[in-house]
Amino acid sequence: MTPESNLASQPTSSASAAAPQGFLSRLIGVYFSPGETFQEIGRAPRVLVPLLALMVMGALVGFLMINRIGIQTFFSKQYEQAVQSGQMTQEQANQALERVTSGPAATFVKASFPIFGAINWAVIALILAGAFKLVSMLVGADNEFKPLFSVTLYALLAVFLISSVLVVILLYLKNPEEIDINNLVASNLNALLAWAVGKDGLPKFVMALARWIDLFAIWAIALLAIGYAAVSRRLKTSTAAIALGCIYGVVALIGAAWSALRG
């Protein structure tokens, strides 16, 4: 090989080494080598494909859920809880159930589940990335929004993919009447406590808070912490994890208090 041909081949080799990974390679990498994968995502952040994938998955799960459980079953459980907590009478619950399960309202409700499922995850990803950008400014870390957003999308997508598969399996294994719509996968402390002491064995606030102590939430926080540290300067993974844990803890306390007040 002549010196000229050897030199000519170097730019091509360098360009190939620096070429960004594809969507599937990145998603698989989040499972098996998150640190290196998030660093690669930080060098060439892409948001469109993971965002669309997350939204499509959310829409699909919403569609399958409402079609498997059914509007009647889904809302009858909600109104039954409202009656038990004294928020409405049985007559009011029956009237509300009739309105929501008949006519144009039923069509609208059925269509809203996949729409909400799609929008929900996109909004969560935006809020998470934006919130951590503010946290980064407070702790003196240096990063940009697009890499943070890309990391958020891939981390959520990796976790949501596994949880969604479990949700769909359980939807079709269980009788729709037996499905707990508030705890589909039972991957949290609430499910363990309900099994050990019963659903009413502890105060409502404790049981509601236990629902937030979830394996998938912990996994998501771990992935986000690794990812945010990988695309930031002057930020340790432990610092990112503590910040995310504090944010999640505040949201959990507010959510549990609201659930307890609603009964």
In a domain, 229, yes or no: yes
Using the predicted structure, report yes or no on whether residue 1 has a pLDDT greater than 60. no
In a domain, 44, yes or no: yes
**3-class DSSP state for residue 233?**
strand
Residue 60's pLDDT is: 94
Task: Give the count of domains, the chain.
Answer: 1
In a domain, 147, yes or no: yes
Residue 188 carries which DSSP code?
Answer: B
pLDDT tens profile 65-112: 988 888 888 888 777 777 776 777 788 778 888 888 787 888 888 889
In a domain, 16, yes or no: no
To the nearest whole number, what is the mean pLDDT of the chain? 87
Residue numbers of the domain that contains 75: 22-262
In a domain, 8, yes or no: no
Which own/partner pairs from 253-256 qualify as long-range (CB within 8 Å, at least 24 positions apart)? 253/209, 255/208, 255/212, 256/205, 256/208, 256/209, 256/211, 256/212
- Provide the whole-model pTM: 0.86
In a domain, 250, yes or no: yes
Residue 11 — pLDDT band, cuts 50, 70, 90? very low
Span 126-138, mean pLDDT? Answer: 95
- With vertex at residue 201, the alpha carbon angle to CA 198 and CA 207, rounded to the nearest 5 degrees, is 90
In a domain, 15, yes or no: no
In a domain, 209, yes or no: yes
Token pair of 46 as six digits: 């892409």
The sign of the CA dihedral 143, 144, 147, 153 is: positive
Numbers of helices and strands, H then E, in the chain = 12, 0
Nearest to 54 by CA among 173, 158, 205, 169: 158
